[in-house]
Amino acid sequence: MVKKILFVCLGNICRSPAAEGIFKQKIKERDLEKLFVVDSAGTGSWHVGNLPDKRMRSTALSRGIELTSRSRQIEENDLYEFDQILVMDKANLDAVKLLTKDQNNSVNSKIKLILSYSKNFQLDEVPDPYYGGQNGFDKVIDLLDDAMDGLIDSLTD
Ligand code: 4NP
């Protein structure tokens, strides 16, 4: 059975495109591409249609990951369409849950903080790098690279 995975942040130009790119690269390396459909979205609409932020693209590329997604805004139907919705921070979590009046467990249990899958870090949230410096973009990749191994392990057990 194909599993559909959606990564979500605020603008869908920094953290969630990086998450999508890292996840796709890891499933390619492990020859698991046929098992997954992968996408990303933002809770906001400011950047719809745009490529990821230049700083995020160059940081990812320096680690061998090309980011080519286009920003889109998450919609209610995504909550039913996808099997797992991995958000970057608690504000994203609240915003995604507010998309539906259907506050039942089958929807809510699909939505999780991506760093709940961390193996080597203790943070709960992937910090928003948009208004900061290069360190923030490197940190996004470090945190997501680590958590993605935990996520893929849990999905392929
Ligand atoms: P992201 O970062 O949520 O990781 O894509 C942001 C991108 C844009 C803005 C905020 C965060 N913005 O305010 O435009």
Query: Please, what's the b/e burial string for 9-39 (b: 16 or more CB within 10 A of its CB; e: otherwise)?
Result: bbbbbbbbbbbbbbbbbbbeeeeeeeebebb
Of 119, 3, 116, 128, the C-alpha closest to 56 is 128
Ligand 1 centroid vs 130 CA: distance in angstroms?
A: 5
pLDDT in tens, 21-40: 999 999 999 999 999 999 99
* pLDDT computed for residue 101 by the predictor: 81
Best residue among 7, 8, 13 to mutate for probing ligand 1's pocket (most ligand atoms within 8 Å of CB) is: 13
Residues with CB under 6 A from ligand 1: 9-15, 46, 128, 130
Domains and CATH numbers, the chain: 3-156 (3.40.50.2300)
Kindly list the catalytic residues. 9, 15, 128
Mean pLDDT over all residues of the chain? 96
pLDDT score for 103:
67
Q: What is the pLDDT of residue 106?
A: 78
Give per-10-residue mean pLDDT for the chain (157 aa): 97 98 98 98 98 98 98 97 98 95 80 98 98 98 98 93
For the question of whether the overall pTM of this predicted structure is more than 0.75, the answer is yes
What is the pLDDT, as a whole number, of residue 157?
Answer: 77
